[in-house]
Amino acid sequence: MIQFYLEKLGICSADKILFVADGARWIWNRVEQLMRSLGIKKWFELLDFYHAVEHLGKISELQKGWKTSEKERWVKKYRKLLINGKSNEVIGEIKRICKGKRGKKLLRERDYFIRNQKRLNFEYIKNENLPIGSGAMESSIRRVINMRLKGAATYWLRENAEKMLMLRCYFKSGRWDMLKRLAFSSKHILEV
């Protein structure tokens, strides 16, 4: 469905294509599959800046010998380096303090940054006047999906929920008439 929508928007003629998401592997795998199926060769992937900073906070919280003020200073320093395009310095520091037998949680945080290193180009994206966070989209999803399709004693079969979501998206985006024209002009509409 998203491929169809992106084609209708004319994504192939876009000047720049940017995907901003958290570090979930399944998201980035789908982005690559989607772009290849659309025949797009160049796009930008960016780790949501605010998710990245959350992970910096987790690393600082896992430092047992640090005082609260040290943890806060550390996060502030490396947050500033991240936003200013110094991701190599940030990852170098993370590797330095997350080496050895430091526990699974700390190693998981280190691996998060290493795995997403190519998605930490915040300075470039910011200079292109593109968003560095996915908060606005996450908020929209919460409004469109969670508040409308979820409710007390409401249960959906997956295929029905997807259909209702598509209908709601057409309606909320002002494209309901277009959907009606498509539906009623289709020669398959009368086939059962």
Convert the pLDDT of each residue in 61-113 to its tens digit. Answer: 999 899 999 999 999 999 999 999 999 999 999 999 987 777 889 999 999 99
Q: Are residues 145 and 180 located together in one domain of the fold?
A: yes
| Structural domain containing residue 65 | 49-127
Where is pLDDT greater, at 135 or 77?
77
The pLDDT-based confidence of 186 (bands split at 50, 70, 90) is low
Per-residue model confidence (pLDDT) at position 148:
66
Percent of the chain with pLDDT over 90: 49
Residue 114, in any domain of the structure: yes
Tell me how far apart the alpha carbons of residues 21 and 29 are, in angstroms, rounded to a whole number.
12
Question: Lowest-confidence range among 33-37, 65-69, 147-151, 177-181?
Answer: 147-151
Q: What is the dihedral of CA 94, 97, 98, 103, to 10 degrees?
A: -140
Q: Are residues 54 and 116 located together in one domain of the fold?
A: yes
Residue 24: closest CA among 45, 2, 1: 45
Domain end call among 73, 105, 127: 127
* Average confidence (pLDDT) over 127-148: 77
Q: Which residues contact 90 (CB under 8 A, 6 or more apart)?
A: 56, 78, 81, 82, 113, 120
Total tally of structural domains belonging to the chain: 2
Decide if pLDDT at 57 tops 80.
yes
Decide if pLDDT at 192 tops 90.
no
Q: Give the number of C-alpha atoms closer than 13 A to the C-alpha of residue 106, restricted to the C-beta side.
A: 16
* Segment holding 167, helix H or strand E: helix 158-172
Decide if pLDDT at 58 tops 50.
yes
Residue 81, in any domain of the structure: yes
Question: Which residues lie across from 45 on neighbouring strands?
Answer: 19
**181's tokens:** 């024209």
Residue 120: closest CA among 181, 79, 163, 65: 79
